[in-house]
């Protein structure tokens, strides 16, 4: 009898049904400050199709190997300025409309996957248990995704700059935020349910306390872990191909160092279909600012930061491998990058470019060797100095802004293709 009951329970738990997923929602912490988020209604998940594995054969490791090397369509579909026409938001941060030509150029350069950050809240309305995404905005997101798919690329879409979620990692807000998150991801997942494994979903982006880059509190970490669990539960509950879709969850602030310690891997009714996302911009004075011009041992004499050099990078990536890759979860480095620095003199301009290429090549090599798939943060800004991350000039037929940087990335990919052992 016990064996029979055990078998029945295991069968039930293995089914990607709505209610088996929802019962894994985040419960109240031991201190009693949290809330249990079982506040969905049956209408939210009515008439969901049965699980469909067609076109979804790759588990997380098999798919991660196919992702190979990634590029971000940054500051485009997540762009928005209050007061602007939501349908015109794509260009509100000074980037042009994304075209098929742009994506063709990315594919031609050797990138295999495009991460498309997407901001949804300016383009949606809420009605009871349902969120409705504006038809024009939805059509635009689908159009850009199709540009990528037509080139044989893989695609990641997320919720990006959803400040109602990202800046509210608090118990007091969790009930309402979890509920809204569930409604949004129910809508997104249902709309894109019939896409095959070339489309991946990522639940959040850099959840953190607004205005600070510092580590959070146990409360902040617990709420972020809750966001991840709600995301997984909700997508699985929509059925169809989403029962087998590879999902991506983040550490707090997507931090690759201190964000990993309080991170809790969500439970998932579908095994071996989850990846962990971190971001890496170390050292920030070099990667994101124009204050430090050089990085790495070959340029030490010219002046580099004390921290964030090759040994620190190796230590961080090795930790990620131990924590996640070795335990069955490929790691997505959803963002990394280096700005185009101004040269302190004409004589050093070549060395400045060479140092950037060295950093990027080193990072990609070390990441791939540890089972980490890196995605370059390209925000479309092709100038010199702070915030100028672009590899391509979107305003000039996608001409390569820094061919040596792209060459360094692709050389490391060619010589360090990701291989997963002991699966």
On the question of a cis peptide bond just before residue 365, with omega within 30 degrees of 0, the verdict is: no
- Please identify which of the residues 40, 181, 197, 335 carries the catalytic annotation: 335
Alpha helices in 192-248 (DSSP H): 218-237
End-to-end CA separation in angstroms for the chain: 35
Output the six-digit token pair for 415: 């010589």
Distances (CA, A) of 418 to 51, 68, 253, 315: 30, 7, 25, 18
Residue 206: active-site member: yes
Output the six-digit token pair for 18: 């709505």
Contact 260, 235 (CB under 8 A): no
Q: How far apart are CA 371 and CA 351, in angstroms?
A: 30
The number of helices, as runs of H, and strands, as runs of E, in the chain is 12, 12
Output the six-digit token pair for 416: 């360090």
Output the six-digit token pair for 300: 């030490």
Instruction: Look at residues 108, 106, 110, 116 and name the one whose alpha carbon lies nearest to residue 72.
Output: 116
Q: Beta-carbon neighbour count of residue 210 at 10 Å? A: 9
The per-residue DSSP string of 312-347 comes to HHHHHHHHHHHHTGGGT--EEEEEE----PPPSSGG
Residue 335: active-site member: yes
In DSSP terms, 255 is beta-bridged to: 279
Alpha helices in 27-168 (DSSP H): 60-67, 100-109, 135-150, 163-166
- Please identify which of the residues 90, 162, 166, 206 carries the catalytic annotation: 206
Collapse the DSSP code of 284 into the 3-class scheme (helix H, G, I; strand E, B; otherwise coil) and give the result: helix
Collapse the DSSP code of 375 into the 3-class scheme (helix H, G, I; strand E, B; otherwise coil) and give the result: strand
Residues with a catalytic annotation lie at 206, 335
């Amino acid at each position: 009898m016990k064996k029979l009951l055990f078998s029945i329970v295991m069968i039930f738990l293995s089914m990607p049904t709505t209610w088996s997923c929802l019962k894994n929602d985040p419960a109240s912490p031991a201190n009693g400050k949290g809330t249990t988020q079982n506040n969905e209604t049956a209408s939210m998940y009515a008439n969901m199709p049965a699980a469909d594995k067609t076109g979804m054969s790759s588990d997380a490791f098999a798919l991660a190997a196919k992702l190979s090397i990634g590029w971000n369509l940054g500051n485009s579909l997540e762009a928005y300025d209050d007061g602007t026409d939501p349908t015109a938001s794509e260009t509100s941060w000074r980037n042009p409309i994304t075209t098929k030509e742009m994506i063709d150029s990315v594919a031609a350069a050797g990138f295999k996957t495009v991460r498309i950050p997407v901001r949804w809240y300016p383009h949606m309305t809420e009605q009871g248990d349902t969120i409705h995404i504006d038809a024009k905005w939805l059509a635009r997101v689908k159009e850009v995704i199709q540009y990528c798919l037509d080139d044989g690329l893989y695609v990641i879409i997320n919720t990006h700059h959803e400040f109602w979620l990202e800046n509210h990692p608090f118990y007091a807000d969790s009930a309402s935020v979890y509920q809204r998150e569930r409604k949004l991801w129910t809508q997104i997942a249902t709309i894109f349910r019939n896409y095959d494994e070339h489309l991946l979903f990522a639940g959040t982006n850099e959840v953190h306390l607004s205005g600070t880059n510092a580590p959070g509190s146990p409360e902040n970490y617990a709420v972020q872990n809750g966001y991840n669990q709600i995301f997984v539960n909700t997508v699985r509950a929509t059925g169809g191909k989403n029962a087998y879709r590879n999902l991506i969850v983040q550490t707090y602030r997507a931090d690759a160092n201190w964000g990993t310690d309080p991170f809790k891997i969500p439970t998932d009714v579908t095994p071996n279909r989850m990846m962990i996302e971190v971001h890496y911009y170390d050292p920030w004075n070099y990667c994101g600012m124009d204050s430090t011009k050089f990085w790495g041992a070959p340029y030490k004499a010219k002046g580099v930061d004390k921290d964030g050099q090759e040994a620190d990078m190796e230590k961080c990536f090795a930790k990620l491998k131990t924590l996640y890759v070795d335990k069955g979860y490929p790691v997505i480095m959803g963002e990394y990058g280096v700005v185009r620095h101004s040269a302190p003199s004409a004589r050093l301009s070549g060395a400045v470019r060479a140092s950037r290429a060295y950093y990027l090549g080193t990072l990609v090599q070390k990441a791939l060797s540890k089972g980490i798939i890196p995605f370059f943060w390209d925000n479309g800004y092709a100038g010199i100095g702070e915030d100028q991350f672009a590899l391509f000039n979107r305003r000039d037929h996608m001409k390569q802004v820094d061919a040596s940087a792209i060459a360094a990335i692709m050389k490391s990919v060619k010589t360090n293709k990701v291989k997963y052992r002991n699966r």
